[in-house]
Structure 1
């Protein structure tokens, strides 16, 4: 199977099986072997980098609509998107037994100048999660009407749960209800504060696996 064409001057060009007919700079028809492209094998270091990129990208993709808003400190990057990707791949993906995994305590769900969430206690029973924190409303970059947002990640299923703007900083505590399907599933939690308008967030706080 091949394709050939005649330019009207007796010269042929095209592809027939494993050979190619082409014209050189003098107008003569020459025959060449069809180029064979081989995929270059990645070095171990390059493969590790690609695997890290894939793992980090897969983790942040489902929650990116939230992250692109909550990363209000761009960490010297040009955009929130760049900040999310750069930080996650650099600091929140680690190698464990030769495979890239998420370093949950270092993962951030937000960045910014609001005063961070300071936990007092947290506990969970079945689907209810109780959180208590220091209001800190008298300190810099903290206001009583700052809004608390909490995100959970279920490693067994890869699912996320969100509780956006679920309490004010001044409330100092909140009870959250998880879906019944997660009653027996361990969940990683993060908490953060933002202004009521959402134009500035705090650096998020990892609450642990509950």
Structure 2
């Protein structure tokens, strides 16, 4: 069963919030936890630090000074490692197997991206196909594109790498992420295609 998340408030015929809305409301209250005695912040149980969103652009600028035109692929490679780690957390949190595991993973990915957006922007997962190891993701107000400014080519290298790593774990295949549209090019949103490297090699 394909469970899609809704962004509008869903109510019962009597106008009362349904169980999904109440669960999401409670979840949103408990997403961030501050431990003042230790100076720690956790998000969904994972310890976090808070950095300004332009930190990726600053890192990219520094890499460009060090390695010139290799900065973008270098950043993408580093981001893929972060994505792999995040994807493994998703996968390890699912205890079911087979089709139930796929459904639970897809539901978790939709929830993690579309309900919280992870600060990437307004994320919409249009499609996930476990058999073909494909996915289509659209990000409105993508943080990386907004920070990078205008460009002739798609330039969300960190986001592409992160998505490739995460979906490699979720889909359990070697995949690549390609940005097909970018806000930096004047498009209304950034669009990413996740495809299997195995299919590309054939």
> TM-score with structure 2 length normalisation?
0.28
What TM-score do the two structures reach when normalised by structure 1?
0.27
- Identify, as 1 or 2, the structure richer in strand: 1
Bigger Rg, structure 1 or 2: 1
